[in-house]
Amino acid sequence: MEIDKNDKIIISTHKENGLYFSVGVSNSTDKIVRISLPKQDKELAVAEISKHYSEFEVSDKYADIAKTVSKVYEGEKVDFNLRLLDFEVDQSKHKNSPIKTQFERNVLLITAEIPSGQVRTYKSIAQKLGNRAYRAVGTALGKNPFPIIIPCHRVVKSDLSIGQYGGGSKMKKEILKNEGVRIKGNKIIGE
DNA sequence: AAGCTGGCCTACT
DNA sequence: CAGTAGGCCAGCT
């Protein structure tokens, strides 16, 4: 894992219904560099972010952002300003941009447009990119630095089965249910 | 730098 | 239905 030597990160956490949501914000750019999936422990949620950086500090400075993330997790429709996220692609060794390649960036930008309560398939995202890299789409979403806010949980398989998720398919189903998506067994129910 | 690995897809059993 | 071989393609080593 590459560690950034030049930037310092502020990590804030919000607790909601027994789950801890963390966000990491760059001290130099004020942009959100990472979001954690909810964890049972505060330490785990913080570690999810801190492991990518050599220098970090825990404070409640950005707890409101973490709270917003928890609201989206619970299915609330929140208007989140995507410009708060660090979308820079920089593959140099000195910077630690959360997004490594243009391909990943494009996948995340397309995913960001999926409305709450709806789903898309990995295939449809590949098609928007003009190729058949559906498998690579899944891999790119697996590295999503901004889960929940960039709703990779709304991307499912072509047969409408749930597919994998960083926090486990159980969590993926839970978030989708919170958003009003109907699920039976391991599949999305169409209209 | 040629293989390998995946949050996948399709066709076929 | 469920399971899977073989195909795809980006990234990593």
The catalytically annotated residue of A152, A156, A176, A181 is A152
Residue A71: which H helix or E strand, with range? helix A63-73
- In this structure, which amino acid lies at residue A79? D
Spatial separation of the C-alpha atoms in residues A43 and A169, rounded to whole Å = 23
Please, which pLDDT band fits residue A7 given cuts at 50, 70 and 90? confident
Position A3 pLDDT exceeds 60? no
List the nucleotides on chain B closer than 7 A to a protein CB: 6-10
Strands of chain A (E only): list them: 9-16, 19-26, 32-35, 56-58, 120-121, 155-156, 183-184, 187-188
Other CB atoms within a 10 A radius of the CB of residue A23 amount to 29
List the nucleotides on chain C closer than 7 A to a protein CB: 2, 7-12
- Please compute the mean of the pLDDT values over residues A86-106 and round it to a whole number: 87
Please, which pLDDT band fits residue A90 given cuts at 50, 70 and 90? confident
Q: What is the pLDDT at residue A96?
A: 79
Q: What does pTM read for this prediction?
A: 0.95
Position A102 pLDDT exceeds 90? yes
Q: From the CA of A77 to the C1' of C13: give the distance in Å.
A: 42
- Please compute the mean of the pLDDT values over residues A166-174 and round it to a whole number: 97
Please, which pLDDT band fits residue A94 given cuts at 50, 70 and 90? low
Averaged confidence pLDDT in chain A: 94
Answer yes or no: is A130 CB < 7 A from strand C.
Answer: no
Which nucleotide lies closest to A103 by the C1' atom and the CA atom? Answer: C10
Check: CB of residue A24 under 8 Å from CB of residue A3: no
Known catalytic residue: A152? yes
Residue A128: which H helix or E strand, with range? helix A122-128
Answer yes or no: is A139 CB < 7 A from strand C.
Answer: yes
Tokens of A12: 């804030």
- Please compute the mean of the pLDDT values over residues A58-69 and round it to a whole number: 98
Spatial separation of the C-alpha atoms in residues A162 and A159, rounded to whole Å = 9
